Structure 1
Amino acid sequence: MKAEILSFRIIHDGWSQFGLARVRLADGTEAEREIEDHGNSVGVLPYDPERRVATLVRELRVPPLYVSGEQSQLEAPAGLIDDGSPEENARREVLEETGLRLHDLESVGTTYSCAGISTEQIHLFLAPYRTADRETGGGGAEGEHENIKVVEMSLADLAGMAATGQMRDLKTLALVLALQVRHPHLFTAEGDS
């Protein structure tokens, strides 16, 4: 027997939609499961291969503030998909948040951000840039109250954060690890082979 959704009812409909699904499990028993839906998103790690740095952002995240008092976390630029393709939205989000105009995007994949509760699928990209690609100071879209701080840091420091468990944002951790696997030469000392 396969699991199946027997019914679904919305319990909140705002920026996110929350619902309760009645599910028949594979063993025939029934259970309720919560589902959160706010759409799909993109996450991008912009990196400068010549200078061996990446551009990230710091922004208030209320759930970590509520749970542990963390005011912000270092993370890859990201945002919800509006109109257009994931690639178009990735370029728009990075321009709004960091001021960088991206050209090439390397797809890392599309994953569920938290399949136990959310329908969100996040499209992950690596994106090389050059100093000349910076058009503005970034900071977020006007009227969205993001108050984003742009942070450029060395790839070696990012790798160190990933290796020591200091990277608190899952999409950013996945992107840093993907960059290390796909472009390991960016993490070696200049001149090493």
Structure 2
Amino acid sequence: MTAGLDTPDRRGRTGLDRHGRDLTGNPRVRISDVEVLSCDWYVLRRTTFDFQHSDGHWSREQRETYDRGDGATILLYHPGRRTVLLTRQFRLPAYVNGHHDGMLIETAAGLLDGDSPEEAIRREAAEETGHLVGTPERVFDVYMSPGSVTERLHFFAAPYRSTEATAGAHGVAAEGEDIETVELPFEEALSMIRCGAIADAKTIMLLQWAALDGPFRHR
């Protein structure tokens, strides 16, 4: 018996090796095997499939996919003051891959964990910034790293009120989070992209959306 396959893993999941086996949307892809390599918290799979190339021939391929679930992120902005409310927290993967201290400035974000994208982003905004979001504006949905990671990230935006507290540490302490809120003038946040002080992809995408099509676009 194997945890995550025949018996529940520590998150209560079974049948993790069946993911993707019944896909029929692309007739050029025939999935033949799915092997679970790890399911300690997220799930690493190796999938074997036959792929029909544009010239008609078939080849046997293998790919590893990392499944951490889908997520949501939100840009909180104040249209009158032309400011944005971001977060700063430690990110180990960035730290071990060249970031000088691993403290990244980001939009509030988190995994859906079974909630709808709208419910999840309201939860994450409250946990990470102390801000209560009403009905967020949906911006777009994006596969952030489609070559290896299955995650689809749902992007949102919403205004925040200047009367709401933004200072201090936030996050879920039981999950090791220690998240600082950072209020910045919008133009300063854009300049931080250019100099590399903001290096998080989702944050860059939402800031550029705000400048091109969102609340701070030139009219």
TM-score past 0.5 threshold: yes
* C-alpha contact 2:169 2:178 (8 A) present in aligned 1: no
Partner amino acid, structure 1, of 2:115: G
CA distance in 1, matches of 2:80, 2:174: 34
SS at 1:131's partner residue? Answer: coil
Structure with higher RCO (Cα < 8 A, 6+ apart): 1
The one-letter amino acid of 1:24's match is D
Number of residue equivalences: 188
Q: CA RMSD in A?
A: 2.0
Cα gap change, 1:46 to 1:105, in 2 (>3 Å):
same
Tell me, yes or no, if the aligned pair for 1:100 and 1:136 is still in contact at 8 Å: no
Task: Identify the residue that residue 86 of structure 1 maps to in structure 2.
Answer: 117
In structure 2, stretches of 5+ residues that fail to align are: 1-26
Residue 120, structure 1, aligned to residue 151, structure 2: yes
Q: Which runs of 5+ in 1 are unaligned?
A: none
Alignment map for 1:170-185 (pairs within 5 Å): 170-183=201-214
Larger helix proportion, structure 1 or 2?
A: 1
> Could you tell me whether the CA contact under 8 Å between 1:104 and 1:128 is conserved in 2?
no
Distance 1:103 1:5 in 2: 42
Larger Rg: 2
Q: Which amino acid aligns with 1:113?
A: M
After superposition, the C-alpha distances for 1:95-122 in whole angstroms (9 at most, x for unaligned) are 1001111123111111112111111111
Q: State the TM-score, normalized to the length of structure 1.
A: 0.89
Q: Which one of the candidate residues 193, 203, 208 is aligned to 1:162?
A: 193
Three-state SS of the structure 2 residue aligned to 1:84 is: coil
Confirm or deny: 8 A CA contact 1:44 1:126 kept in the other structure.
yes
Name 1:142's counterpart in structure 2.
173
| Aligned-pair CA distance for 1:42 | 0.4
Instruction: Report the equivalent of 2:51.
Output: 25
Check the 8 A contact 1:99/1:138 in 2, yes or no.
no
Q: Does 1:13 align with 2:43?
A: no
Displacement after TM superposition at 1:76 (Å): 0.5
Q: Deviation per CA, 1:27-78, whole angstroms, max 9, x where unpaired?
A: 3111210010011100111111111111111111111111114321111110
Give percent identity, aligned residues only.
Answer: 30
Question: Is this contact kept in 1: 2:166–2:181, CA < 8 A?
Answer: no
* Stretch of structure 1 that moved more, 92-101 or 132-141: 132-141
Change (3 A) 1:130 1:60: same
- Residue in structure 2 matched with residue 2 of structure 1 by the alignment: 28
Q: So what's the TM-score if we normalise by structure 2?
A: 0.79
Match of 2:67 among 37, 41, 60: 37
